[in-house]
Amino acid sequence: MKKTLLLFSLFLIPYLPYAQCYESLTFGGTHTVGLKSDGTLWGWGQGDWRQLATSNFTEPNPIQVSTLTTWDKAYTGIQNTFAIKSDGTLWGVGSNMYGSLGVGSTTEYYLEFQQITTANNWTKVAPSYLFTLALKADGTLWAWGRDDTNQTGNAPATSEQLVPIQVGTATDWIDIATGTNSTAFALKADGTLWGWGANDGSLLVASSSVYSLSTPTQINPASDWIKMSVGGFHILAQKEDGSLWTWGTGPARGIGEEAPPQGNIPYSISTDVWKSFSTGTNTSFGIKADGTLWAWGLNTNGQLGDGTSTTHYVPTQIGTDTNWDSVHARNFATTMATKTDGSIWYWGTNYYGEFGNGTDYNSVYYTTPQLTPDICVESLSAPAFGKTEISLYPNPASGTVQLQYELGVSDSMMELYDVTGRVLVQQRLDSAKGNETFDISNYSEGIYIVVLKNGNKVLYQQKLIIK
């Protein structure tokens, strides 16, 4: 009998009382966007594509990118920014090359946030360089932007898709990820992983002669995937037991210098439990459950943050600190990470003001993590898998299912969905900690989704198999 444990929970850390603190952060490689608890959006870094709703080339200090107070989630592309309001509507600003904002226009960029369709059930966005994926609450998957290698999952390939188009007809998608090139991945509620678009590094098909896949295709037979991060030529994917796996090509796979040939066969990086991980084009970063930070991949400019220029083919620990919380990389030469005390760290280049410390046009390449003293993050993740914050068991289940939870917040809601997105159960959880038993004997065999919410914020989401 397997327990699936919570990947994150929310709690507040009283760190740096005179700093600007954010409820959540999203990092696009050269710009960062932060969401405050008052619903406002702020950002810093590169702004020349108007991705920060500014005309300035750089913004080395946090600026408010919208005066609205109704923002609920934010996502950074490389040259644009997306945000979902509390009413479920989706908006975008910045580069619109190849229609990558999805607003039905060929206008090169927008200085102000533009609404993307009139739908009000958007839940997640995964922007890449020139194309974008997004999920709706009904489990459907949508794509738009550049489509020269079937990035939208709809054949035949076209030069651009200016408005969101549904990817297939499935209604059980629960997570999405895009590569730093032109590859897309999505996760279904049954734990299977699917991909389409460019076959760079043989990420999708173990054949260099297959250029791309035009529709979502199951990548391997495993059905216990829960999360993924996609680089340019490799992928990191996590299973329910917290282990980390990889495939593709290049040193960023982390499986040794004499690694097997490229392909879509998953290889285990280690048996350790990882609570955060992220890919760059040719780099990989991860944080283990014990709070240690690790890096591997190309390191010619010291981009791994270990103070050297030595390429590492296996995970290498960065420093000795044990309070790292999350790490965020992309295809550029800067990486961001946070610690459990709320502090924010960057390494790599700070040319566009990426570090948010008031400086820019800096040609120095920082090869070790640098603290940005005047910003912090409030919402932090608890150690994944190492300590039980939420468990749903048994799973698969019949008759009854047990939910043991410790959320850190009270007055939350448990919801049970079927794969069509229909709400079957809504039950209020008055306390922040408890143990509930739910009768599922009246439901048919199949796959369901359990969601825990506090207001509009999703705290937990997990598939439940009823047998």
d(CA 149, CA 152): 9
pLDDT at residue 108 in the model? 97
pLDDT confidence tier of residue 387, bands split at 50, 70 and 90: very low
| Ramachandran angles phi, psi of 251, nearest 5° | -65, -20
Contact between 412 and 388 (Cβ < 8 Å): no
Whether the pLDDT of residue 379 is over 60: the answer is no
Percent of the chain with pLDDT over 70: 91
Whether the pLDDT of residue 8 is over 70: the answer is no
Domains along the sequence of the chain with CATH = 13-377 (2.130.10.30), 390-466 (2.60.40.3080)
Mean per-residue pLDDT over the chain, rounded: 88
Helices (H) and strands (E) in the chain, counts: 0, 37
Cα-based torsion angle of the residue sequence 112, 458, 176, 349 in order, rounded to the nearest 10 degrees: 60
State the DSSP string of 104-173: S---SEEEEEEE-SS---EEEEEE-SSEEEEEETTS-EEEEEE-TTSTTS-SSP-SEEEEEEE-SS---E
- The angle formed by the CA atoms of residues 325, 326 and 328, to the nearest 5 degrees, is 160
pLDDT at residue 456 in the model? 62
Judged by average pLDDT, the poorest of 76-80, 199-203, 391-395 is 391-395
- Give this prediction's pTM: 0.81
Q: Which of 45, 20, 3, 53 is nearest to 397 (CA)?
A: 3
Cα-based torsion angle of the residue sequence 398, 404, 405, 410 in order, rounded to the nearest 10 degrees: 90
pLDDT confidence tier of residue 223, bands split at 50, 70 and 90: very high
Q: pLDDT of 277-318, one tens digit each?
A: 999 999 999 999 899 999 999 999 999 999 999 999 999 999
Segments of 205-282 assigned E as strands? 212-218, 225-230, 234-239, 244-248, 263-270, 274-279
Whether the pLDDT of residue 275 is over 70: the answer is yes
Give burial (CB, 10 Å; 0-12/13-18/19+) of 235.
buried
pLDDT at residue 460 in the model? 74
pLDDT at residue 381 in the model? 53
